[in-house]
Amino acid sequence: MKTKNLHVFRGNVFFTICLFTSISVLFFACKKSEKDILNSVNTSNPLSNGPAGSDDGPVKNNRYIIEASKGKSLSDIVSDAQAEGATVIRVQRQLGFVVVESTASGFLSAMGSKASVGTITPSYDVKWTPSTNPHELDKSRITIPKSHITNTNPFFPLQWSHLAINTHDAWARGQKGNGARVAVVDGGFFPNHPDIINNVNLVLSRNFVVGETLEQAYDDFGHGTHCAGIIAAEDNDIGTVGVAPEAELILVKVLADAGYGSFEDVCAGIVYAADQGVDIISMSLGAEIPRTWKGENVNETRYIRDLINFVKRAVSYATDHGVTVIVAAGNSGINPTASGFLASPVGAPGSLGVSALGPRGWGLNPLTNLDEVASYTNYGTDIVEFSGSGGDFTQYPNELWFLDLVLSTSGAADYYFAAGTSMATPQVAGVAALIVGKYGKMKPAQLKTKLIGCVDDLGAVGRDAYYGHGRINAEKATR
């Protein structure tokens, strides 16, 4: 059997492990097997090393976002850009800009002088989610005695996050998100994963990354698939189960498989999802860029602000079209605003930012608190609206520390543990889907009010920097 190492990455933090003992041993933490279990994972330090973007600044991608001047049209921009030898990548009519590509050194100044051009902003690729070198969960070595199963999905006993938000009681009322449509805006997916395939609308799912397809090229950890499974892995007796196992999923790829992407592609994905009539957009992605960052051009800080404003406009477009946009707060353990970082899309007007909570030693004590503030989560009353189960790794390297992470679908037909606000965000989106399934389609302000009404108010009374309005509760959401 092939054993792979544990890897840790900047930004969203992912942990994947290979288990060589039975789940029953893991679940009840039998002491005699702990050494064997720990021998199956690499013991490198799993701590995050700092904010995303702190040493990897944005990289120019030869694209430009151009808005028309007063009295001119997007067609005028297209004509002028093509006359300068540029290739038109996208006409984003909903947001009022054109995306073009040119490698000519004088293109920025040449187009900036055109009468058709109101503003022109160089585009940049940013690391929105981390690179991964993930690891298989060897299902052939896993056995769960029937008497230990509380749900017929075999990996359900390891999904402590369902205990945290009381999904079982919501399901018992027959509320499983039927009728809700959720867009997962992320990197590559494995849409044929057996736990999500029946809930994925492949006809409406889309890829916006040039040179790649919707399906992730490499068959291992899939960030987007992991998030999709947290929302709506089907209740089908196969593996895990999502918060809203009957919700419809639309998969929208805006990031390359490696986690990089452009602001304009993120905008395109948001707009596309909104135009498909989704109820909820779940985005477990984010960029944190130092406000003092400088590159080749003294105006680049302004350009980055412009790009973030384009994303804000895309979020506003979605909310104006009846879509609730739920986004990850980030995994750098900072208040981005107070720490001098420009963050996107969290903090965009109308978006609902999500912080992460998790247990500390659940594998050894199933009665432990499941709602500790995650050691890595970003915080701040200006960005955090709600909190959800994202997992944590504070027990490393103690035995069974990895069971404090979130288990979900990933790979072509596999399951992985991972931690991050990336995991907490789709959990909140799943509860939002339960609400839509019960009450029907509603405006974002109404859905936000419903979410506020179903939280457990942890931490300081009322909204606070770490829990937001509180940790969502699926049972309360379906009363």
Catalytic residue among 102, 116, 387, 422: 422
SS3 79: helix
Model pLDDT, residue 30: 26
Sign of the Cα pseudo-torsion (133, 139, 142, 146, in order)? positive
Q: Are 20 and 138 in contact (CB under 8 A)?
A: yes
Active site residue 131: no
| pLDDT digits 0-9 by tens, 12-53 | 444 433 332 222 222 222 222 223 322 333 323 333 333 333
Residue 185 confidence (pLDDT): 98
For residues 185-213, give the mean pLDDT. 97
Identity (one letter) of the amino acid at 177? G
Tokens of 401: 């520390």
Q: What is the pLDDT of residues 150-163, one digit of tens each?
A: 567 888 988 999 99
pLDDT of residue 80 exceeding 70: yes
What is the predicted pLDDT for the residue at 35? 30
Residue linked to tokens 């899309």: 345
Distance between CA atoms of residues 11 and 411, nearest Å: 20
Grouping H, G, I as helix, E, B as strand and the rest as coil, residue 412 is coil
- Residue-wise pLDDT for 67-76, tens only, equals 999 999 999 9
Active site includes 469? no
Asked if pLDDT for residue 431 goes beyond 60, the answer is yes
- Has residue 355 got a pLDDT over 90? yes
Q: Do 363 and 378 form a contact (C-beta atoms < 8 A)? A: no
Q: Catalytic pick from 40, 54, 102, 186?
A: 186
- Mean pLDDT lowest for which of 5-9, 165-169, 220-224? 5-9
Domain boundaries 144-477, CATH class: alpha beta
Between 381 and 142, the higher pLDDT residue: 381
- pLDDT tens readout for residues 444-475: 999 999 999 999 999 999 999 999 999 999 99
pTM: 0.88
Could you confirm whether 186 is annotated as catalytic? yes
Cα 356 from chain centroid (whole Å): 12
Q: Quote the pLDDT of residue 255.
A: 96
Listed by start position, the domains of the chain span 59-127, 144-477
pLDDT value at 402 more than 60: yes
59-127: CATH class: alpha beta
Among residues 7, 162, 223, 469, which one is catalytic? 223
pLDDT for the residue 292: 63
Residues pairing with 186 in the sheet: 253
Is the sign of the CA dihedral 13, 14, 20, 23 positive or negative?
A: positive
CB atoms within 10 A of CB 358: 31
Percent over 70 (pLDDT), the chain: 81
Calculate the CA 421 to chain-centre distance: 7
Predicted pLDDT at 12:
41
- Residue pLDDT, tens place only, 87-141: 999 999 999 999 999 999 999 999 999 999 999 999 999 889 864 433 344 454 4
